[in-house]
Amino acid sequence: MEDKKVLVQVKNLKKYFNMGGGGLFGKKNAAILKAVDDVTFDIYEGETLGLVGESGCGKTTLGRTIMRLYDPTGGEILFEGTDISKMNAKELSPFRKNMHMIFQDPYASLNPRMTVSEIIMESMINDTDLPADKRKERVLELLDLVGLNSDHATRFPHEFSGGQRQRVGIARSLAANPKFIVCDEPISALDVSIQAQVVNLLKELQHKYGLTYLFIAHDLSMVQYISDRVGVMYLGKLVELADSDTLYSRPLHPYTEALMSAIPIPDPDTEENKRRIIVEGEVPSPINPPSGCAFNTRCPKAADRCRKECPKLQEIQPGHFVACHLYEK
């Protein structure tokens, strides 16, 4: 792989939630939910890293922890080489403008009492030193960029359709010229024809500004389409990471295999002749995950070792990481 600059480095990141319980004074036996458990990966400058997994696998928590919307339980997050995982709000503020987030629900993530221009300006006031008289101009520029027009600036979020709202969210995330954007399921709430519009817009903006995306979604075909590399998560752990073509054509981890074969393809002939791997059962609770490999309860290839020992994420081929005993050297 050629020398690419690492923008964000995530090292052994952990985020645990305390679920309460354990008696009146006893914090000892409290149930702990390991939403993100020992995850390590790099994000290169200018790439799109896709993150897929089923609900409850910790992909959103991971995205939010990297953004420091949650305080990590352990591990490091290096942004351009500086560890931001333990910074307080004040120390963090110069970094804030370099990273932004686009949220899943375009209805809930825009303040209904603010006009579009106020929503976009808020981020400029906080993160940039743009003088007040220039802000208005910048808002119009951003709106134009995301395919809305200047009439829209004075309107309120409820006057827009879902796709338009998501465009407002994108304009807001670009307001402070960030380098890195976490897109948390930005298209799941939209209709098919609108999804393609928003994804193409994101791609275009990336070209123009050299943005780096962490693209979180459960729609695997869309993730493959937009991402350069894709990571697969299962129960708080990263089980496979590879560039997107390799991952989809030659998945190694049994979970990735099953996930790929479960995606319905809009082609009746392909569907008829497809060899489907149906994994039995459901995702176990992250509060009490199975011992050993988290996937061993559903894995068709599970052996004794998988029930005892948790496999580590290893680089099997250049750039292809997998956490499975089957591929250990």
Partner 1 sequence: MAKVLEVKDLCTSFFTKFGEVKAVNHVSFDLEEGDVLAIVGESGSGKSVTSMSVMGLVAKGGKIVNGEINFCGQNLVGLPEKEMEKLRGKEMSMIFQDPMTCLNPVFTIGNQMEEVLKFHHKEMDKQQRHDKMIEMLEKVGMSNPEERLKQYPHELSGGMRQRIMIALSLLCSPKLLIADEPTTALDVTIQAQIMDLMRELSQEINTSIILITHDLGVVASIAKRVIVMYCGQIVENAAIKELYYNPKHPYTWGLLKALPRLDMKENELQPIPGSTPDLLLEMKGCPFFDRCEHAMECCREAQPPYYEVEPNHLVKCWRYHPDFKEEP
- Give me the least distance between CB of 244 and partner 1, in Å please: 8
- Give me the least distance between CB of 91 and partner 1, in Å please: 38
* Residue 149 within binding range of partner 1, rule CB under 8 A: no
Among the listed ranges 17-25, 97-105, 109-117, 252-260, the one in contact with partner 1 (CB under 8 A) is 252-260
Give the β-pairing of 180-184 and 99-102: parallel
Binding mask 65-94 for partner 1 (x = CB under 8 A): ------------------------------
Both tokens of residue 252? Answer: 């190694």
Nearer to partner 1, 62 or 77 (CB): 62
Binding mask 202-241 for partner 1 (x = CB under 8 A): ----------------x-xxx-xx----------------
Nearer to partner 1, 133 or 267 (CB): 267
| Listed residue (176, 242, 179) closest to 7, CA to CA | 179
* Residue 111 within binding range of partner 1, rule CB under 8 A: no
* Residue 51 within binding range of partner 1, rule CB under 8 A: no
Residues near 88 by beta carbon (within 8 Å), at least 6 away in sequence: none
* Residue 142 within binding range of partner 1, rule CB under 8 A: no
**Which residue from 21, 210, 264, 300 is in contact with partner 1, where contact means CB under 8 A?**
264
End-to-end CA distance of the chain: 21
* Residue 266 within binding range of partner 1, rule CB under 8 A: yes
**Which residue from 124, 283, 293, 324 is in contact with partner 1, where contact means CB under 8 A?**
283
**Which residue from 30, 262, 287, 303 is in contact with partner 1, where contact means CB under 8 A?**
262
- Give me the least distance between CB of 204 and partner 1, in Å please: 11
* Residue 19 within binding range of partner 1, rule CB under 8 A: no
Nearer to partner 1, 245 or 304 (CB): 245
User: Cβ atoms within 10 A of the Cβ of 17, count?
Assistant: 16
Nearer to partner 1, 20 or 23 (CB): 20
Nearer to partner 1, 126 or 200 (CB): 200
Binding residues (CB under 8 A) for partner 1: these are 54-55, 161, 163-164, 191-197, 199-200, 218, 220-222, 224-225, 245, 248, 258-271, 276, 278-279, 282-283
